[in-house]
């Protein structure tokens, strides 16, 4: 029996496993993620694949952390793979930890530290009357691999991309240049084109994290809308992130926002401590802000914060009958599409 709390941030479903899975070997959370991937991937498959799960969700496994500065750790499981960091998964995990009292809630602000596979994540959660109103987290250092990279994409020709790390590695494409206004009716076309761009960019533009070589290869496409201003003069823009094996991120995407902030700073489009409102295709919003500048192995980087809200949607107890013919679930190509 696996206890799961359902949650979403910005419309993106990121459930949290709170019980029923024991700790796994590994000194760091990255080690534990690697162990799960290589030795115990049936947990991810059972929860996320059909008939229990779907292609449009993720799940987080809360585990003890060995890091002296971390209160708790978590491993992020997506429908096809494990990722070092995720903004919406962080926001959902924090909200679940606080609202189920796994981490004591302190009003008006609860502060604590998570260990993600990608590194430490400092958290400030605004709380009121037992509810986590929003979560502001300090992301891992983010940086640009390259601007204006020329990629040859089948059926599209040459496409210009910026390659950037925000906790995952992104190929960032100017949406209007490919005819997209980032509206809900474009979702299917965004997925088709986005997966083609990601596949081509991953093959043609090598990208390896300078400190953790096991973090490598472009694995997301972000369609970036034009930067505008709100009524009070705050910079804002729409975006759409495509998640393999082929679906649209419902949220504004925390790591995508971080990767875009790194590109914007490299292009001198945004300053330190200047807020940026990132909007999803369905209208949900996150606030990103560059808190400080840094460097990784001589590579200029930024340290951003992302602020967003999550809501608990339900409580589940997943079970596996010994006679179930699908102990690890299954996938079908009608929804689990491959390019």
* Cα 315-316-320 angle, rounded to 5 deg: 170
Tell me the per-residue pLDDT of 19-28, one tens digit each, with 9 for 90 and over: 999 999 999 9
Residue 211: pLDDT over 70: yes
Full-model pTM:
0.97
The pLDDT value recorded for residue 193 is: 97
Q: Does the active-site annotation cover 280?
A: no
Tell me the per-residue pLDDT of 193-203, one tens digit each, with 9 for 90 and over: 999 999 999 99
Q: Are 113 and 120 in contact (CB under 8 A)?
A: yes
Percentage of the chain surpassing pLDDT 90?
A: 95
What would the two tokens of residue 33 be?
Answer: 């993620």
182-to-178, 243, 255 alpha-carbon distances in Å: 11, 15, 18
Tell me the per-residue pLDDT of 236-249, one tens digit each, with 9 for 90 and over: 999 999 998 889 99
Q: Are 236 and 268 in contact (CB under 8 A)?
A: no
Residue 339: pLDDT over 70: no
**57: β partners:** 13
Tell me the per-residue pLDDT of 278-300, one tens digit each, with 9 for 90 and over: 999 999 999 999 999 999 988 99
Distance CA 232, CA 250 (A): 26
The pLDDT value recorded for residue 337 is: 79
Tell me the per-residue pLDDT of 80-106, one tens digit each, with 9 for 90 and over: 889 999 999 999 999 999 999 999 999
**104: β partners:** none
Residue 155: pLDDT over 70: yes
| Domains (range + CATH), the chain | 2-138+312-316 (3.10.310.10), 143-306 (3.10.310.10)
The pLDDT value recorded for residue 246 is: 87
Distance CA 88, CA 94 (A): 10
Mean pLDDT of 148-172: 97
Mean pLDDT of 126-138: 98
202 preceded by a cis bond (ω within 30 of 0): no
Residue 270: pLDDT over 90: yes
Q: Single out the catalytic residue among 28, 54, 79, 86.
A: 86
Q: Are 35 and 75 in contact (CB under 8 A)?
A: no
Mean pLDDT of 214-240: 97
- The radius of gyration computed from the CA coordinates of the chain, to the nearest angstrom, equals 19
């Amino acid at each position: 029996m696996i206890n799961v709390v359902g949650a979403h941030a910005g419309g993106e479903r990121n459930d949290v496993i709170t019980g029923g899975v024991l700790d796994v070997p590994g000194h760091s959370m990255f080690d534990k993620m690697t162990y799960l991937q290589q030795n115990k991937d049936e947990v991810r498959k059972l929860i996320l694949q059909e008939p229990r799960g779907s292609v449009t969700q993720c799940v987080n496994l809360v585990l003890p952390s060995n890091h002296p500065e971390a209160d708790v750790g978590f491993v992020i499981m997506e429908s096809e793979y494990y990722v070092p960091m995720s903004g919406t998964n962080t926001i959902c995990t924090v909200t679940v930890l606080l609202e189920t009292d796994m981490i004591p809630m302190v009003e008006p602000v609860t502060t604590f530290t998570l260990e993600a596979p990608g590194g430490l994540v400092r958290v400030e959660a605004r709380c009121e009357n037992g509810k986590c109103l929003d979560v502001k987290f300090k992301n891992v250092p983010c940086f640009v691999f390259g601007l204006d990279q020329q990629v040859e994409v089948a059926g599209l020709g040459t496409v210009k991309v910026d390659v950037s790390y925000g906790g995952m590695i992104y190929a960032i494409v100017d949406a209007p240049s490919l005819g997209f206004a980032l509206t809900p009716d474009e979702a299917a076309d965004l997925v088709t084109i986005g997966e083609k761009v990601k596949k081509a960019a991953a093959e043609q533009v090598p990208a390896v994290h300078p400190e953790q070589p096991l973090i490598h290869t472009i694995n997301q496409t972000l369609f970036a809308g034009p930067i505008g201003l709100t009524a009070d003069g705050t910079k804002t823009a729409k975006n759409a992130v495509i998640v393999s094996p082929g679906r649209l991120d419902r949220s504004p995407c925390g790591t995508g926002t971080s990767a875009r902030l790194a590109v914007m700073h490299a292009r001198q489009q945004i300053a330190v401590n200047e807020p940026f409102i990132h909007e999803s295709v369905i209208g949900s919003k996150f606030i990103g802000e560059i808190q400080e500048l840094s460097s990784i192995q001589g590579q200029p980087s930024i340290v951003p914060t992302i602020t967003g809200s999550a809501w608990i949607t339900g409580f589940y107890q997943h079970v596996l009958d010994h006679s179930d013919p699908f102990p690890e679930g299954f996938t079908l190509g009608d929804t689990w599409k491959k390019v």
